[in-house]
A = this chain, B = another copy of it.
Amino acid sequence: MEIIRPENKQPMPAHAKLVFKGVLHDVYQWEQQGFDGSTMVFEKLARPDTVNVIAVTEDKRILIAHQEQPGKPPFRSLPGGRVDEGEDILAAAKRELLEESGYESSEWELLSAYQPLSKIDWAIFSFVARGAKKVADQTLDAGEKIEIEPVDFDMFLGIVLQPDFLEQELRIQILEAKLDPAKMQELRHKILGY
């Protein structure tokens, strides 16, 4: 599988300078020429990319993560997390699925890849992983509590549309599919494989 990292809408110029390195975010600045020839300081962040996984079990159920993190209200999401420095994107998705759910899958496909914001160089990769099987216990960080619930396709569509569900881009895809039977069939095929 060839995975191409999407470019940010406002790519950082080569002369941008790293002005702060945080534990999660790096801050870059550069002199930008305006439309009238004057110069301004532009600022932009970079952070680790994110992977998330629509994991489909052999009986065609999809894994939903019920999550708690310190200082946040509970929320629901797909299994997923941050790509480590230098880590392969697909390897990160497989690692996060295994850590958060204890599941492994035989059949992986990239569903979408996009950058949500122009001020942060940050790509989000969504995978479909069919044939998911429980092979291990969860191995969670001290900063997470996760319970995995397998649900059928229609329940999955309903959960993604709830306000406590994390992935906004998937919500848009599902709303668009609900308005267009051809798109819904395509989405169902991409996820369930039939």
- Residues of A near any B CB (own CB < 8 A): 9-11, 13, 19-20, 22-25, 27, 29, 32-38, 40-43, 45, 47, 68-73, 75, 116, 118-119, 141-145, 168, 171-172, 175-176, 178-179
Total copies of the chain = 2
Residues of B within 8 A of A34 (CB): 70, 141-143
Q: Is the interface of A mostly helix, strand, loop or mixed?
A: loop
Residues of B within 8 A of A20 (CB): 19-20, 22, 27
A43 touches B72 (CB 8 A): no
Residue of B nearest to A119 (CB): B24
- Bound-state Cα–Cα, A170 to B102, Å: 37
Among B10, B68, B72, the residue within 8 A (CB) of A9 is B72
Known: A27-B25, A45-B45, A71-B13. A35 touches B179 (CB 8 A): no
